Amino acid sequence: MKYDRILVRYGEISTKGRNRSKFTNKMKSNIKRLLADDQIQVEAQRDRMFIYLNGASFDDVKEKLVHVSGIQSFSPVVKTSQELDEVKAAALELVKKAMSGGTTFKVETRRADKTFPLDTHTLNHEIGGHVLRNTEQLTVDVRNPDLTLVVEVRKEAVYLSCETIAGAGGMPAGAAGKAVLLLSGGLDSPVAGYLMMKRGVEIEAVHFFSPPYTSERAKQKVIDLADALTKYGGQIRLHIVPFTSIQETIHKQVPENYTMTSTRRIMMRIADRIREQTGSLAIVTGESLGQVASQTMESMAAINDVTNTPVLRPLIASDKLDIMEIARKIGTHDISILPFEDCCTIFTPAAPKTRPKTEKVQYFESFLDFNPLIEQAVRDTETIMLPKKEAEIEDLL
């Protein structure tokens, strides 16, 4: 017997009231895009979703589905009619197939269709008895079974499953609107992006790139990071902003210990322009309090001074080790630790100001009009749509 469909249970979506369909439709389109397989169909109902495999392999789909935000859990299921003999036969076959190594099982029936003539107790016995009679080594253990067969009796059909796989939780990517993610090549910002995606935020990634100080491989690294994030349910547009002339100008214009503060302020101004252009609502960074000079509260205040846009910092209270653990889990760690420097590392002064004063950096910047440079950088920004096939990315480089 082959599983022919997957039953998907919603997580937090199920606490939503009137606009629930907005969330379920978003999740449905995320799943469809991710699976990218014409034979697979997705049907979103009010309290659950069905993915019809139509011959596709459950294991392949499962690998992708575990990452999709908004899913509480999912199970591969077999559908039968309400005919008891048919249910029993399917149950026997499923238990035989799913039992690997163990010897005990139990049947757990849920009766959504209250008009069904047998109650759950009787159904458990009928189905369990049939399995026992037709197998040799199996016994029933209701407290601690090796395998639980879940039988769900609904009006339209009966669904049987032996396996429940935990989903990623959270909300469907894109359901909460869009934000601009400042994506460096480091460990933190991809994790920050992942956490926001998990809360339903669609990401427009922005990366500041300073050739020839930073290499094409540093750029490829950021493309790979953004691409790795797309498996959490959404498409990502990556905006690569040419930043060389701005960094050189800051270097000439601003005293060395304030160059980092000023660089971050200009990044913020450009990100805010891209936010406006893309209809995004906030800016996300990978900052974590006290991690480096630019991440003191004084520093964040001086950087934040250039905009009223909400700046979201999902990692602000996280420890580096915890961030690294998430990075490993989501598959960005090994890309992030590749040794290609991003623009900030290269221009970082020996002794950046850890407690910069906003008035001072404003004063240093006041000798030059950065607006034309900012406009130019925004105009020359290159945008890449992800996920993309390898060949297409190579063409871009």
Residues of the shown chain interacting with ligand ATP in the complex, contacts defined by CB under 6 A: 182-184, 186-189, 206-208, 285-287, 291-292, 294-295, 342-344
The entry of Mg ion, ligand ATP, none near residue 207 (CB within 5 to 8 angstroms by kind) is ligand ATP
Q: Which CB sits closer to ligand ATP, 91 or 302?
A: 302
**Closest Cα to residue 91, out of 49, 32, 153?**
153
Nearest 5°: CA angle at 274, between 309 and 326?
75
CB of 252 to ligand ATP, least distance (A): 20
Report whether 380 contacts 242 (CB < 8 A): yes
Q: How far is Cα 19 from Cα 160, in angstroms, rounded to an integer?
A: 30
**Closest Cα to residue 278, out of 150, 193, 177, 132?**
177
Q: Which CB sits closer to ligand ATP, 83 or 248?
A: 248
Q: Which CB sits closer to ligand ATP, 161 or 294?
A: 294
CB of 184 to Mg ion, least distance (A): 4
CB of 219 to ligand ATP, least distance (A): 10
- What is the number of the residue whose Cβ is closest to ligand ATP? 186
The entry of Mg ion, ligand ATP, none near residue 285 (CB within 5 to 8 angstroms by kind) is ligand ATP
In this structure, what DSSP letter does residue 161 have? E
Q: How far is Cα 310 from Cα 283, in angstroms, rounded to an integer?
A: 6
Compute the CA torsion angle 342, 345, 347, 351 (nearest 10 deg): 170
Q: Which CB sits closer to ligand ATP, 33 or 320?
A: 320
User: Count H helices, E strands: the chain?
Assistant: 15, 15
- What is the number of the residue whose Cβ is closest to Mg ion? 186
Q: Which CB sits closer to ligand ATP, 11 or 186?
A: 186
Q: Is 286 known as a binding-site position?
A: yes
Q: Is 233 known as a binding-site position?
A: no
Q: Is 208 known as a binding-site position?
A: yes
CB of 168 to ligand ATP, least distance (A): 22
SS3 148: strand
CB of 184 to ligand ATP, least distance (A): 3
The entry of ligand ATP, Mg ion, none near residue 343 (CB within 5 to 8 angstroms by kind) is ligand ATP
Q: Note the residues at the interface with Mg ion (CB under 5 A).
A: 184, 186
Report whether 108 contacts 151 (CB < 8 A): yes
The entry of Mg ion, ligand ATP, none near residue 76 (CB within 5 to 8 angstroms by kind) is none
Report whether 77 contacts 161 (CB < 8 A): yes
CB of 345 to Mg ion, least distance (A): 7
Q: Which CB sits closer to Mg ion, 67 or 207?
A: 207
Q: How far is Cα 12 from Cα 197, in angstroms, rounded to an integer?
A: 14
User: Which residues, listed in sequence order, are joined to residue 206 by a DSSP beta bridge?
Assistant: 182, 239
Phi first, then psi: what are they for 240, rounded to 5°?
-105, 115
Q: E strand or H helix at 266, and its extent?
A: helix 259-277
Q: Is 333 known as a binding-site position?
A: no
Q: Is 84 known as a binding-site position?
A: no
**Closest Cα to residue 286, out of 169, 214, 206?**
206
CB of 188 to ligand ATP, least distance (A): 3
Q: Which CB sits closer to Mg ion, 161 or 214?
A: 214
Q: How far is Cα 279 from Cα 157, in angstroms, rounded to an integer?
A: 44
Report whether 143 contacts 168 (CB < 8 A): no
The entry of ligand ATP, Mg ion, none near residue 31 (CB within 5 to 8 angstroms by kind) is none
Q: Which CB sits closer to ligand ATP, 145 or 186?
A: 186
The entry of Mg ion, ligand ATP, none near residue 291 (CB within 5 to 8 angstroms by kind) is ligand ATP
Phi first, then psi: what are they for 253, rounded to 5°?
-90, -35
Cβ count within 10 A of residue 309: 18
CB of 172 to ligand ATP, least distance (A): 24
> Could you tell me which residues are annotated as the binding site for ATP?
182-183, 207-208, 264, 286, 295
Binding residues: 182-183, 207-208, 264, 286, 295
